[in-house]
A = this chain, B = another copy of it.
């Protein structure tokens, strides 16, 4: 298969999208991004990686990090995690407090902010350094030692993070955090503020396409666990647009407000797209358009 040619075609198709959306503007560091920027990488299960556009340029991975916190927390602590966080789609915007209240502090799933705070808390308990664990995993899988938290972005998140502080205190009020609120938030901001490129993320996500096996051949998760993370990605990975993403793209995927989207082709590989312009649900406009084009051109789909 001519993966490189495919990426060129996908890029050309995505660029014809009628709109670009707007970069996230809740912190200055993200607002400065060019909504028209675009990069895309495709990695195969045997470790080959192809790219187009700004595919090596680091961007703020934001919520894409939540895929890795989930995988690492499950790898380290197992199913006990699910006592503190559910795995149902939320049906509400990603930072909603409403469901959290009606469900007594157990967030609906690990990918809404509230759920990711709980997962970060558990990963912090299990490893002593949640953000470091994510960073080290990304470095190891991508082979790129430059993957690191952008301290300025993390600080800016903290400065503008009243909503996340409210979520964390709220969860703590229900007894569902095991570490101090401020520590959990610091690690949460630090792993969201990791800067990495499409190439890095595509490689780091390959364990999900390889049914749990890391780049070095060691096993991170069982085959069943890897499939199950893909299931949670498909039903919950793209905020409250997960249904539409499954309908249009048909692949497990995780998006972030930095404009990145990482999608999994089980048994085949991964794709990571980046473009900072977001739709109203917080997903990259060109990123989703590119994945839509990719699956239309190839017929790839889990269905």
Contacts and interface: CB of A to CB of B under 8 A. Distances in A.
Nearest to A302: B302
A226 B234 CA distance: 17
A98 B99 CA distance: 9
A219 interface: no
A98 to B, nearest CB: 5
A167 interface: yes
A225 B96 CA distance: 32
Interface centre among A98, A167, A247, A299, by most chain B C-beta atoms within 10 angstroms, is A247
B181 A170 contact: no
Interface in A66-97: 86-92, 96-97
A144 to B, nearest CB: 27
A163 B104 CA distance: 12
A248 B227 CA distance: 9
A243 B166 contact: no
Chain copies in the assembly?
4
Interface string A267-282: 0000000000000000
Interface residues of A, number: 53
A284 to B, nearest CB: 18
Contacts of A27: none
A28 interface: no
B303 A97 contact: no
B230 A303 contact: yes
A230 B243 CA distance: 11
Contact of A167 (B90, B166, B246, B252): B166
Interface string A7-37: 0000000000000000000000000000000
A244 B87 CA distance: 6
Contacts of A109: 243
A162 B266 CA distance: 42
Contacts of A303: 226-228, 230-231, 234, 252, 266, 302
Given A96-B101, A235-B235, A235-B243, 7 more contacts: A98-B101, A162-B172, A165-B165, A166-B169, A224-B296, A232-B246, A266-B303
Interface of A: 86-92, 96-99, 101-102, 108-109, 162-163, 165-170, 172-173, 181, 223-224, 226-228, 230-232, 234-236, 240-244, 246-248, 250, 252, 266, 296, 299, 301-303
